[in-house]
């Protein structure tokens, strides 16, 4: 069996930046175990498999795998796949069937190998239980307890399909200084697959509003350069704690700078009657290569 694949860098226009993504085409005849083994072979944060859609009005069905498990939704695979499909099919609207639901992405072409995609979140972020206290969080992040939190933002847990512990820190210097301590991680977070998104405001930076880092050591991800599903969850915390007021709001978030993989994620959401009622995520992507898998 021969399968064609592409490699893209997502949440960036620059090759060798952002978050790499493998996209395997025409994967209808591959079983779940083989998909997981291929994702492990690529050894990227996520690999996706495109298949025939269940409904004719949709362009594709997609399954998303990390190196260790399948996900119902993820932002960087959705953006990357939408950009690739938009380029290949010369389309500005791409409907993708994911486990979480059908996602319609609006795409824009920059060149033959790059573009942008944005999509409404299929599930608005909701609270996902209590977060650990500042003392416990500081012990596994190598920070001081008084560096946890800023303004009215406490640690929280939100999910827009994938749950994250969201940890605000005082400033970009604190974010930069994090040193993850694996010992005690599961004791603090409970779930062995718990993922953590640490974020802060960046008032001194002109090209972004927030900065973040994502860690999931128990899932084999020491650090992720760009995490769309975490940014989607973060929209819930921003709406809950930032006192933004009614109407439309937009934020640009940087991630991956500390890994030398700078990324930009764009968030848009709307608050009506004090509640989040719409949220969207977007970013750029660029193709950096393609090839074939030769399987038994």
Q: Which of the residues in the chain have pLDDT under 50?
A: none
Q: Look at strands 163-168 and 196-201 and give their pairing.
A: parallel
Residues 256 and 278 in one domain: yes
Residue with structure tokens 């860098």? Answer: 9
Q: Model-level pTM?
A: 0.94
13 and 139 fall within a common domain: no
DSSP 8-state symbol, 27: -
What would the pLDDT profile of 171-226 be if each residue is shown by its tens digit? 999 999 999 998 889 899 986 668 999 999 999 999 999 999 999 988 888 999 99
37 and 180 belong to one structural domain: no
Catalytic pick among 17, 46, 97, 98: 46
- Assess whether 56 and 144 both reside in one domain: no
Residue-level pLDDT at 193: 66
Same domain as 228, residue 159: yes
Range of the domain at 210: 126-283
Q: Three-class SS of residue 228? A: helix
pLDDT of amino acid 192: 62
Pair (114, 130) in one structural domain: no
Which helix (H) or strand (E) element contains residue 111? strand 101-111
Shared domain for 139 and 106, answered yes or no, is: no
Question: Do 143 and 74 reside in the same domain of the chain?
Answer: no
94 and 20 housed in the same domain: yes
Same domain, 173 and 269: yes
The DSSP H or E segment spanning 222 is strand 221-224
The 10s digit of each residue's pLDDT in 231-240 is 999 999 999 9
C-alpha–C-alpha distance, residues 239 and 264, integer Å:
20
Q: Are residues 232 and 270 in the same domain?
A: yes
Stretch (H or E) spanning 255: strand 247-255
pLDDT at 194: 83
Q: How far apart are CA 113 and CA 228, in angstroms?
A: 21
Can you tell me whether residue 206 is helix, strand or coil? coil
- What interhelical angle do 75-89 and 228-241 show, nearest 10? 120
- Domain of 109, CATH number, reads 3.10.310.10
Q: Is residue 46 annotated as part of the catalytic site, yes or no?
A: yes
The number of angstroms, rounded, from the C-alpha of 145 to the middle of its chain's C-alpha atoms is 27
How far is 100 from 160, CA to CA, in rounded Å? 10
Number of domains in the chain: 2
What span, in angstroms and rounded, lies between the C-alpha atoms of 146 and 39? 40
83 and 19 belong to one structural domain: yes
């Amino acid at each position: 069996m021969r399968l064609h694949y592409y490699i893209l860098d997502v949440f960036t226009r620059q090759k060798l930046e952002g978050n790499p993504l493998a996209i395997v085409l025409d994967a209808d005849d591959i079983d779940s175990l083989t998909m997981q083994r291929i994702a492990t072979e690529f050894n990227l944060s996520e690999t996706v498999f495109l298949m025939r859609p269940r409904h004719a009005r949709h362009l594709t069905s997609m399954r998303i795998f990390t190196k260790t498990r399948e996900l119902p939704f993820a932002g960087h695979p959705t953006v990357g796949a939408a950009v690739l499909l938009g380029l290949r099919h010369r389309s500005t609207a791409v409907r993708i069937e994911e486990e979480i639901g059908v996602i319609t992405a609006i795409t824009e072409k920059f060149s033959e190998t790059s573009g942008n995609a944005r999509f409404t979140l299929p599930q608005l972020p909701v609270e996902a239980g209590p977060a650990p206290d500042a003392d416990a969080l500081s012990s596994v992040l190598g920070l001081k307890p008084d560096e946890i939190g800023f303004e009215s933002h406490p640690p929280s847990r939100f999910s827009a399909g994938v749950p994250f512990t969201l940890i605000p820190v005082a400033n970009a210097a604190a974010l930069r200084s994090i040193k993850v301590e694996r010992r005690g991680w599961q004791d603090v977070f409970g779930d062995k697959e718990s993922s953590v998104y640490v974020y802060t405001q960046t008032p001194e930076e002109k090209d972004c509003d927030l900065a973040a880092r994502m860690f999931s050591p128990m899932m084999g991800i020491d650090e992720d350069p760009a995490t769309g599903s975490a940014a989607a969850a973060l929209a819930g915390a921003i709406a809950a704690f930032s006192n933004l007021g009614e109407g439309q709001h937009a934020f640009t978030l940087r991630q991956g700078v500390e890994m030398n993989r700078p990324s930009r994620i764009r968030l848009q959401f709307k608050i009506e009657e004090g509640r989040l009622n719409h949220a969207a995520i977007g970013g750029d992507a660029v193709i950096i290569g393609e090839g074939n898998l030769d399987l038994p």
